[in-house]
Amino acid sequence: MEAVQIVGLGFIATLLILVIKGQRPEFAVQLSLACAVIIFLFILTKLEAVISLFSDLADKARISHVYLNTILKIIGIAYITEFGAQICRDAGEGAVAGKIEFAGKVLVMIIAIPIIALVLDTVVKLLP
Amino acid sequence: MGLDILFKIAGVGILISVFHTALKQAGKEDMAHLCTLAGFALVLFWVVQLLGRLFNTVQEVFKLF
């Protein structure tokens, strides 16, 4: 049922944006931003169930929560930066979108540093 | 909750464009621009609140603290 709601929301937002875009492009950008945020919020509340399932599975497999949390953080950063970059690109600011994506990549790298260091440590220990 | 804010933003946009045209016809260019700016600020206020909610939710869901 949620799928129909989201498609309807997207259609209505698209029609409203088409009406507005001719006279006031700045309102069209805000309209598309609001639509994107509403759909995101709608789907994020559903995502909590999936994430709790994953953490249960990690508990059962006795995987440390550090790894799962790192992956979740990376997914979150990727989500947010992609969202911002898409909005900027829609508004015609490809340069700003590129900067946001670059910042997101750097932040993901920073979060992944402990795991990379761990892998390197393991490899060094294995070597004679 | 979802649709009403979309309609509010679209309504403000259409209203502002009508005001802009009317004020321009009346020869008050500066007033027309101020009117557009006021409408933009009003819509930005709503959108920023919405964005804040989105970012808080994302931080909660993905444990980004």
**B40-58, pLDDT tens digit by residue?**
999 999 999 999 998 898 8
With CB atoms and an 8 Å threshold, state whether A38 touches B40: no
Write the DSSP assignment of B29-51 as a string of letters: HHHHHHHHHHHHHHHHHHHHHHH
- Give the relative orientation of helices B29-61 and A25-60 as an angle to the nearest 10 degrees: 0
pLDDT at residue A45, rounded to an integer: 83
For residue range A114-128, what is the model confidence (pLDDT) as tens digits?
888 989 999 999 987
With CB atoms and an 8 Å threshold, state whether A9 touches B2: yes
**Domain containing residue B57:** 2-61
pLDDT at residue B28, rounded to an integer: 86
For residue B54, the distance in angstroms to the closest alpha carbon of chain A comes to 6
Does residue B19 contact residue B35 with C-beta atoms inside 8 Å? yes
B1 has pLDDT over 70: no
| Arithmetic mean of pLDDT, A66-92 | 90
Q: What distance in Å separates the CA atoms of residue B46 and residue A60, rounded to the nearest whole number?
A: 43
Q: Which of A13, A37, A73 sits opposite B62 (nearest CB)?
A: A73
pLDDT at residue A123, rounded to an integer: 93
Taking the Cβ of residue B15 and every Cβ of chain A, the question of whether any pair is shorter than 8 Å is answered with no
CB environment A29-57: b (16+ within 10 A), e (fewer): bbbbbbbbbbbbbeebeebeeebeeeeee
With CB atoms and an 8 Å threshold, state whether B17 touches A20: yes
A105 has pLDDT over 70: yes
Quote the percentage of chain A above a pLDDT of 70: 100
N residues, chain B: 65
A104 has pLDDT over 90: yes
For residue range A25-38, what is the model confidence (pLDDT) as tens digits?
888 888 999 999 99
Q: How many domains does chain B have?
A: 1
Interface predicted TM-score (ipTM) over 0.85: no
CA A34 to chain centre: 16
Q: Which of B36, B50, B64 sits opposite A34 (nearest CB)?
A: B50
With CB atoms and an 8 Å threshold, state whether B39 touches A80: no
With CB atoms and an 8 Å threshold, state whether A48 touches B13: no
A44 has pLDDT over 90: no
Does residue A97 contact residue A127 with C-beta atoms inside 8 Å? no
Taking the Cβ of residue B59 and every Cβ of chain A, the question of whether any pair is shorter than 8 Å is answered with yes
pLDDT at residue B46, rounded to an integer: 92
